[in-house]
């Protein structure tokens, strides 16, 4: 699977989210206590972009119906979402954050 440059490390300070379209995938990047994570940016319950929701520690709240997802594992934590979201490998090369996404 190819690696795509999503943003600079300076674009994703601790406690923040970033949205990127990478290889046709809508990806949510988050920085939780200095750890970078990437997962699908689309809620599994109803179409909503999670980067528009609120990041609370290691959880992101869907802005539409307030479903919660674990940003580390993609696990759906509360209704109305029951389906987990895919997660993606993340690495930092120089100052760039790269995400491995299947073409």
Which domains does the chain possess?
3-100 (2.102.10.10)
Task: Specify the 3-state DSSP secondary structure of 52.
Answer: helix
The model's confidence at residue 1, banded by pLDDT at 50, 70 and 90, is: confident
What percent of the chain lies above the pLDDT cut of 70?
100
Task: Give tens-digit pLDDT for 26-70.
Answer: 999 999 999 999 999 999 999 999 999 999 999 999 999 999 999
- Please state, in angstroms and rounded to a whole number, the distance separating the CA atoms of residues 100 and 5: 9
What percent of the chain lies above the pLDDT cut of 90?
97
Arithmetic mean of pLDDT, 64-87 = 97
């Amino acid at each position: 699977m190819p690696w795509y440059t999503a943003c600079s490390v300076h674009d994703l300070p601790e406690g923040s989210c970033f949205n990127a379209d990478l290889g046709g995938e809508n990806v949510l990047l988050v920085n939780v206590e200095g750890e970078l994570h990437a997962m699908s940016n689309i809620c599994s319950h109803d179409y909503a972009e999670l980067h528009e929701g609120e990041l609370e520690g290691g959880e992101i709240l869907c802005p539409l119906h307030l479903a919660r997802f674990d940003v580390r594992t993609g696990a759906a934590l509360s209704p109305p979402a029951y389906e987990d979201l895919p997660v993606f490998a993340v690495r930092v090369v120089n100052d760039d954050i790269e995400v491995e996404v299947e073409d």
